[in-house]
Amino acid sequence: MTFRRLDLFCRVVDNYGDIGICWRLARQLQREHGLAVTLWVDDLASFRRICPAVDAHADRQQVDGVQVRHWRDQDGVFSPADVADIVIEFFAVDIPPGYIEAMALCEPRPVWFNLEGLTAEEWVEGCHRLTSPHPRLPLTKHFFFPGFTEKTGGLLREAELEAERLRFQSDPAAMATSLARFGVAPADLGSTKVSLFCYPHAPVSALLDAWRDGAEAITCLVPEGVAAEAVQAFLGADPVAGASATHGALTLRVLPFVPQPDYDRLLWACDLNFVRGEDSFVRAQWAGKPFVWHIYPQDEDLHHKKLRAFLQRYAGGLEALAEFSLRWNGAPAAGEPAGWSALWRDFRAQMPQMAAHAAGWERQMLAHGDLAGNLMQFAATLR
């Protein structure tokens, strides 16, 4: 039986990654797999920041081919006719109990997934596709893990993405226009362009100092609200969109927080990208450029383990990248810690190798298929 409808449930825990991932997945499932997708989301205001077409007050709206429902509470009353053929809960959110009861009354029963977070650790291979029977109802949920190997669900990536990126990157005028829309001046275009997206605890001030004191002209582009304290200190002014300052070799510009597709273009246009969390981290891997990941912090430094697991897969032979990434994330590195000027010097020298490596990595990841396609293939085996 073919699948016609899919419901995706998303709770915004914090920031933009939860809705960023769900929105990307929802659109792709609708466009590339022909499903009628409903995205249930509890925080429309966060959604609106990455997708300005969203009405933050609408209970139900159609955005870019996807039905968006404001998920207000757990009290809804549902019948089997309300239930989709595929139901995805993102990050183990609790779907409304009434919806689950209605799922149990459907014939055939919907395919039910818990879509988990991305990690490079090996244990996910053993948990990907595992089942979890409902304790009371005749329903079975399957775990679906994104990942970097063929024994995982792969990574989110749209079919048209590479063609779009290559078109953009081979058109200097389009890149200049795009950057100009973000407030980048023509004079900045000849410098090394860096986008900076990280959590507040990143050692941004130390890196800005190293760039300021370096010999190479650098333009650092920071979306509004990111690293606000360090950016304010550098600017000597409020870090609002449009603000900028040049000290030494460094020009720092505050950009508006741009819609999600524009953020891709920003990554494609820069020479180096600092990214964070999950979604921007994956997008940087599709930009064909060197990147540094600021991982979402977890208790007991669990994130350092995850960071090392990724670096082990990604950074073989790229010692400067591994060293820099560990320090950027406050993870203990071997030996006497180097200063940021030395870290940057070594990193900068290795950037051409990193760019070449990015292309090979992309091909390697593509060989596993993409997350939406893998999910649909697996769903077909469950009916």
117 vs 330, beta carbon nearer ligand TRH: 117
Q: In the stretch 217-256, what mask flags binding to ligand TRH with x, by CB under 6 A?
A: ------x---------------------------------
**Judged by CB under 6 A, which stretch of 3-11, 27-35, 70-78, 270-278 contacts ligand TRH?**
270-278
Q: How far is the CB of 256 from ligand TRH (least distance, A)?
A: 7
Among positions 273, 280, 325, 329, the unique one binding ligand TRH when judged by CB under 6 A: 280
Min. distance of Cβ 116 from ligand TRH in angstroms? 11
Q: Does position 278 bind ligand TRH by CB under 6 A?
A: yes
Q: Helix/strand/coil (H, E, C) string of the chain? A: CCCCEEEEEECCCCCCHHHHHHHHHHHHHHHHHCCEEEEEECCHHHHHHHCCCCCCCCCEEEECCEEEEECCCCCCCCCHHHCCCEEEEECCCCCCHHHHHHHHHCCCCCEEEEECCCCCCCHHHHHCCCEEECCCCCCEEEEECCCCCCCCCCECCCCCHHHHHHHHHCCHHHHHHHHHHCCCCHHHCCCEEEEECCCCCCCHHHHHHHHHHCCCCEEEEEECCCCHHHHHHHHCCCCCCCCEEEECCEEEEEECCCCHHHHHHHHHHCCEEEEECCHHHHHHHCCCCCEEEECCCCHHHHHHHHHHHHHHHHCCCCHHHHHHHHHHCCCCCCCCCCCHHHHHHHHHHHHHHHHHHHHHHHHHHHCCCEHHHHHHHHHHHCC
Stretch that binds ligand TRH, among 16-24, 129-137, 180-188, 242-250 (CB under 6 A): 16-24
Of 296, 305, 338, 345, which one interacts with ligand TRH (CB under 6 A)? 296
Residues binding ligand TRH: what is the number (CB under 6 A)?
Answer: 23
Site for ligand TRH in 115-134 (CB under 6 A): 117
Nearer to ligand TRH, 258 or 320 (CB): 258
- Residue 278 among the catalytic residues: yes
Residue 19 beta carbon to ligand TRH: minimum distance, rounded to whole angstroms: 8
Q: Which of residues 82-121 bind ligand TRH (CB under 6 A)?
A: 117
Residue from 47, 197, 234, 344 touching ligand TRH (CB under 6 A): that is 197
Q: Kindly list the distances between the CA atom of residue 53 and the CA atoms of 48, 66, 275, in Å, as whole numbers in the listed order.
A: 7, 12, 24
Q: How far is the CB of 138 from ligand TRH (least distance, A)?
A: 32
203 binds ligand TRH (CB under 6 A): no
Residue 116 bears catalytic tag: no
- Per CB under 6 A, the list member of 277, 288, 290, 373 interacting with ligand TRH is 277
Asked if 15 touches ligand TRH (CB under 6 A), the answer is yes
d(CA 308, CA 294): 12
193 binds ligand TRH (CB under 6 A): no
Which residues are marked as active site? 18, 278
Residues near ligand TRH (CB under 6 A):
13-18, 20, 50, 117, 197, 223, 257-260, 263, 276-281, 296
